A = this chain, B = another copy of it.
Amino acid sequence: MGEVAKQAGVSRQALYLHFTDRTTLFLEVSRLADSTARTPARQRRIDEAPTARDAFREAIALQAFLKPRLKGVATALDVLRRNDPAADVAWKEREHARLQRCEQVVQRLHDDGELASGWNVPTAARCFWAVTSQRVWDDLVMDQGWSTTQYCIHITALLEDALLAREER
């Protein structure tokens, strides 16, 4: 808190006039970061994609776009939630929302008969959700040194090969 206050150019105590405690501060910052990074225009590119497969690819591209922008708050929240019930609730809400968007994309695939056989919507959506998590991005980009482009290409290939029905392809 002392460091945050110093960077903000206010006294440490002033922070407590705006945020009840450390957790609340993190939560509000993460919500702000979320809402500024995730613009409606970007979401529209998924919703208005001509085909289900295009929406699928756009959804992965959006994740690749968002991850580096949200990595600070996302990992902070992820660490915080181990010791803080409030942070855990916030994290679950956040990821529940992301899972729902994943389900939406997979549902569209299914409706168009593009979901590979052997998969149902909830299961495929959860795999999609888990593979496009912040943590996988962290492992590949932060630790393994992949570029955003490499991440996007390979994760797209992985999920396409696994989840998309293969016809003429």
Contacts and interface: CB of A to CB of B under 8 A. Distances in A.
Interface of A: 75, 79, 82, 92, 95, 116, 118-119, 123, 126-127, 129-131, 133, 135-136, 139-140, 143-144, 146, 154-155, 157-159, 161-163
B75 A82 contact: yes
Nearest to A164: B161
B154 A127 contact: yes
Contacts of A139: 95, 129-130, 133, 135
By DSSP majority rule, is chain A's interface helix, strand, loop, or mixed? helix
Given A92-B143, A95-B143, A136-B136, A158 B127 contact: yes
A130 B133 CA distance: 11
